[in-house]
Structure 1
């Protein structure tokens, strides 16, 4: 498997956001979480965890991101 640099992968994945008008607070959240999720994915690839352990870690990470994203969206509505 070709292992790309996580920073390069995240930068490429977030490039489509460059042309979209997104409030700075929301953009910051999306970019920060994108970097975090990519780092997490890289760590999990190398961890040797079984499928259930990987699912548990990803579920927790996504729940945290969900809560942050909802809070950012609701704050922008005010």
Structure 2
């Protein structure tokens, strides 16, 4: 059996904190996306865009996904121009 290096066995406090911060940031982002999704669904339902709240939430997720995809495409184009 291969022996793991001591740094892997003992752990590195800095790496653990860094991973914790990344996980926390991802968790905050997911919560915000969920909140926006529910808010958009509620708005669509109130204004009669959809007849059910769940349909509004689904439409909200599609809208958020589309906006995120467009944002990423624009970011990639800017990065290519910068090169």
TM-score (norm 1): 0.41
Which is bigger in relative contact order (C-alpha 8 A, separation at least 6)? Answer: 1
